[in-house]
Amino acid sequence: MELDHISSADRTDILELQEKIDAFQHGQIPEDKFKAYRLTRGVYGQRQLGVQMFRTKLPYGRITSHQLTRLADISEHYTNGNLHLTTRQNIQLHFVKLTDSPAIWKELAEVGVTAREACGNTVRNFTASAHAGIDPEEAFDVSPYVEASFRYFLRNPICQDMGRKIKIAFSSSEADSAFTYFHDFGFIPRVKHVGDREIRGFKVVIGGGLGAQAIMAQTAYEFLEEDQIIPLMEAGLRVFDRYGERAKRHKARMKFLIKDIGLERFLELVEEQKPSLKHKSYKIDRQLVPTALPAQRQAIPEVAIADEQKYQQWLESNVYRQKQAGFYGIQLRVPLGNVSAEQARTLAKLVKNYAADDIRITINQGLLLRFVRPEALAYVYSELDKLGFADPGFDTLVDVTACPGTDTCNLAVTNSTGLTVELEKVIRQEYPELVGEPNLHIKISGCMNSCGQHMAANIGFHGSSIKKGGLVAPAMQVVLGGGVDPQGRGFIAEKIVKVPTKRIPEVIRRLLDGFQEDRQGGEYFNDYFQRLGKMHFYHLLKPLAELDVQDEEAFRDWGEEALFQPEIGTGECAGISYDVVGGILGDAEEKLVRAEKTLAEQSWAEALYYAYTSLVIGAKGLLLAKDVSCNTQKGILQDFDAHYVQQGEFVLPGSASNFEAFAERISQHEPEEAFARQYVSDARAFLEHTQEVRQRQLDKTVINHYYKA
């Protein structure tokens, strides 16, 4: 591959990925270790054997027409020709050969797109309201703040080896259209005025999350000045890295750490990390993401609208006035979030001619075009209609969000996409009066892990199963009462009952019929749900949950002729543990080499964190040699003292007598040259000694379940 014309960072990533793939295929890297590596490079195992899903990382869903065209070309050349839009504002490519992934990355890097840290135990994609920058209700455009945060944490050593992923969102306004309330860190823009001076800042919420146990984020700050958001995130990540659970994957999220120790204690630990930060204040360039210019005026072809009623519905539900006078935002419903290569290329040309070259992927798997002039609306509509992207009802009841489910995902239990198509048909045909309902949403996930964000829906479903008479029926767990209300309040849905998936259309009918009959005035669905109570809906839907083995259709999933057979693979949402002590010490050496490299580049803070990570990993290796089970980095530091230092089996460098204090010096010192050089030197001496100790021990395999840090 010719790599001279791309950035040195991308070049390093691509060459390293190629080397790791070659080493893995030649049996030089264990499969689990290679899996942990490739995940942080956006390469994720797919349900089908022999192919991968390749995920791009597009902060706040921003993509240009040129980038979209390149992705279309890549999808045709290397995959099945489909671009899948996700609820995290990414684009995924499916059916990718592992050996093609470096070439794909190279072609993405040429147009400024990366896959680094799109999966794995990292800071995932930074999401934000797609309306940011044109939202009439926004205090200011959050796009530069998201872009700055994305750049700051990309390849940052503090978030390469965490216990689990971190998700961060920025809303454009108090309406919380970015769903900050279920993120690890959420930011809502606010402005204060002191005299004639305007001060920008954010309301900050911390510790939210969906998944099997959904938890609402807590308010950490009602107003945090703009220069403090990146220092807060960095310090918070250091705390999570050090104190977060690592052995029990289902508990290894920030939400559980905060639940266990409390928000107040978490923020105290954050303050303790402040001395070690490279930046105590991080000023963000407000012009980092300049407002994209609208396309130049040009002659607009005349069009005849074939269906005037549909066009008017589209104008009402899919088009809105931007805060910039004389321009409109156009929201595109994208069925199942799938865009073919041909559709993508045609759309890219349309954008270049009639909108700003700044497309945003929305969190409900759609697209947003910006800066469209009013005189172009009819023509743009007609062109979108030809592409299949002009259906009315964007982000309304009929616009169902769904993950790919069993189409491609290892973890999925049931088919999300087939059910989505059926429900949209039921709503459009039987409830046309609700097609434009903006405050009622349906979301579907193929399993409990919430890729479809079902717990943030007024009406949500996640894949499950029901056993009856030796047979297993594909089912959906019905959840109700989630989402964001018109005032910006967030809700987590409540579980009601499991129902065979083939009966979910009848579930929708009962829920919508009851809502239309019993709602009081313009009552919001979640208020209606709370007023009637959970048990009302349980009794309403429980008859649909009853199974009769004679009802053969109930034992088939959508789109399947054969009877249902659960086939759940191993998910790759988290990293994988290593099981060989020697391999772990090799990982420690790799981190230390990076520390020494960044030290030579005079990047003191980065060198320090790589060295710290090397210390933790090295200690972990020797603890595993004694079958000592640990579940946090903090535990590793303390257990190494107890099992090695205090037993006289390990002498620390210099005059140090306590390993925990020896390693945690990083938190008490400014990241300055003298300290960085000494700390990295000490880490080298420590690692060399661990290798000597290991030589004296018998080689042994460590059982996988003992330790997953």
Residue that is written with structure tokens 């992207």 in the block: 389
Q: What's the pLDDT at 702? A: 39
The 10s digit of each residue's pLDDT in 107-144 is 999 999 999 999 999 999 999 999 999 999 999 999 99
Coarse DSSP helix, strand, coil percentages of the chain, rounded to the nearest 5 percent: 45, 15, 40
Give the whole-angstrom CA distance, residue 442 versus residue 451. Answer: 13
Smallest CA-to-CA distance from 327 within 354, 348, 303, 349 is with: 354
Q: What's the pLDDT at 708? A: 39
* Position 614 in a domain: yes
Per-residue HEC secondary structure of 410-423 comes to CCCCCCHHHHHHHH
150 shares a domain with 52: no
Residue 411: CATH number of its domain: 3.30.413.10
pLDDT for 578 beyond 60 = no
Q: Are 640 and 659 in contact (CB under 8 A)?
A: yes
546 shares a domain with 434: yes
Q: What's the pLDDT at 600? A: 96
73 shares a domain with 173: no
530 shares a domain with 664: no
Give the torsion sign (CA, 26, 32, 36, 39). positive
How far is residue 331 CA from its own chain's centroid? 22
* Position 521 in a domain: yes
Domain boundary among 358, 387, 416: 387
Q: Are 598 and 610 in contact (CB under 8 A)?
A: yes
Helix axes 673-696, 581-600, angle to 10 degrees: 160
The 10s digit of each residue's pLDDT in 621-651 is 999 888 887 889 999 999 999 999 999 999 9
Q: What's the pLDDT at 317? A: 95
15 shares a domain with 143: no
471 burial type by CB count under 10 A (0-12 exposed, 13-18 middle, 19+ buried): middle
Half-sphere exposure of 583 (CA within 13 A, CB side): 14
Q: Are 515 and 481 in contact (CB under 8 A)?
A: no
Smallest CA-to-CA distance from 56 within 79, 22, 24 is with: 79
Give the whole-angstrom CA distance, residue 664 versus residue 211. Answer: 33
The mean per-residue pLDDT over the stretch 251-269 comes to 96
Q: What's the pLDDT at 569? A: 53
Give the torsion sign (CA, 493, 495, 501, 507). negative
The mean per-residue pLDDT over the stretch 160-175 comes to 95
Adjacent-strand bridge partners of 45: 52
For the chain, give the mean pLDDT. Answer: 93
Rounded (5°) CA angle 348-349-354: 100
Q: How confident is the model at residue 246 (pLDDT cuts 50, 70, 90)?
A: confident
The 10s digit of each residue's pLDDT in 583-604 is 788 889 999 999 999 999 999 9
377 shares a domain with 427: no
Provide the residue range defining the domain that includes 85. 1-119
* Position 249 in a domain: yes
Smallest CA-to-CA distance from 650 within 700, 699, 689 is with: 689
Q: Are 186 and 198 in contact (CB under 8 A)?
A: no
350 shares a domain with 239: no
Residues 6+ positions from 530 with CB-CB distance below 8 Å:
481
Give the whole-angstrom CA distance, residue 684 versus residue 680. Answer: 6
pLDDT for 704 beyond 70 = no
pLDDT for 374 beyond 50 = yes
Give the whole-angstrom CA distance, residue 431 versus residue 425. Answer: 10
Q: How confident is the model at residue 571 (pLDDT cuts 50, 70, 90)?
A: low
Q: How confident is the model at residue 573 (pLDDT cuts 50, 70, 90)?
A: low
Q: How confident is the model at residue 700 (pLDDT cuts 50, 70, 90)?
A: very low
Smallest CA-to-CA distance from 599 within 610, 615, 588 is with: 610
The mean per-residue pLDDT over the stretch 253-274 comes to 97
Smallest CA-to-CA distance from 551 within 511, 506, 508 is with: 506
User: Distance from first CA to last CA of the chain, Å, rounded?
Assistant: 35
pLDDT for 705 beyond 70 = no
* Position 128 in a domain: no
User: C-alpha distances in angstroms, 320 versus 323, 332, 669?
Assistant: 10, 12, 51
The 10s digit of each residue's pLDDT in 73-102 is 999 999 999 999 999 999 999 999 999 999
Give the whole-angstrom CA distance, residue 600 versus residue 435. Answer: 61
In degrees rounded to 5, what are phi and psi of residue 112? Answer: 80, 25
pLDDT for 62 beyond 80 = yes
Q: Torsion over CA of 407, 409, 414 and 418, rounded to 10 degrees?
A: -30
User: C-alpha distances in angstroms, 487 versus 176, 219, 476?
Assistant: 9, 17, 30
* Position 393 in a domain: no
What long-range pairs does 102-106 form, CB within 8 A, spacing at least 24?
A: 102/1, 102/14, 102/15, 102/17, 102/18, 102/21, 103/1, 103/78, 104/54, 104/74, 104/78, 105/10, 105/13, 105/14, 105/17, 105/41, 105/42, 106/1, 106/3, 106/6, 106/10, 106/14
* Position 562 in a domain: no
Which helix (DSSP H) or strand (DSSP E) does residue 648 occupy?
none
Smallest CA-to-CA distance from 87 within 227, 220, 182 is with: 182
60 shares a domain with 149: no
| 442 three-class SS | strand
249 burial type by CB count under 10 A (0-12 exposed, 13-18 middle, 19+ buried): middle
Q: What's the pLDDT at 431? A: 95
Instruction: Give percent above pLDDT 70 in the chain.
Output: 96
Tokens of 489: 């309040």
Smallest CA-to-CA distance from 172 within 216, 140, 210, 125 is with: 140
Residue 625: CATH number of its domain: 1.20.120
96 shares a domain with 185: no
548 shares a domain with 437: yes
User: C-alpha distances in angstroms, 526 versus 167, 276, 458, 489, 519?
Assistant: 25, 45, 7, 11, 11
Q: What's the pLDDT at 707? A: 36
Domain boundary among 259, 290, 321: 290
Q: Are 96 and 52 in contact (CB under 8 A)?
A: yes
pLDDT for 206 beyond 50 = yes
pLDDT for 580 beyond 70 = no
Q: How confident is the model at residue 411 (pLDDT cuts 50, 70, 90)?
A: confident
Q: What's the pLDDT at 631? A: 86
Instruction: Look at 158-162, 256-260, 593-597, 701-705 and tell me which has the smallest mean pLDDT.
Output: 701-705
Tokens of 637: 């530091």
Give the whole-angstrom CA distance, residue 236 versus residue 224. Answer: 14
Counted domains in the chain: 5
218 shares a domain with 279: yes
542 shares a domain with 427: yes
Amino acid at 548: D
Per-position DSSP letters for 667-706, written without gaps between them: HHS---HHHHHHHHHHHHHHHHHHHHHHHHSPP-BPPGGG
Q: How confident is the model at residue 350 (pLDDT cuts 50, 70, 90)?
A: very high
Q: What's the pLDDT at 706? A: 36
Which helix (DSSP H) or strand (DSSP E) does residue 506 occupy?
helix 504-518
* Position 566 in a domain: no
* Position 612 in a domain: yes
Which helix (DSSP H) or strand (DSSP E) does residue 167 occupy?
strand 166-170
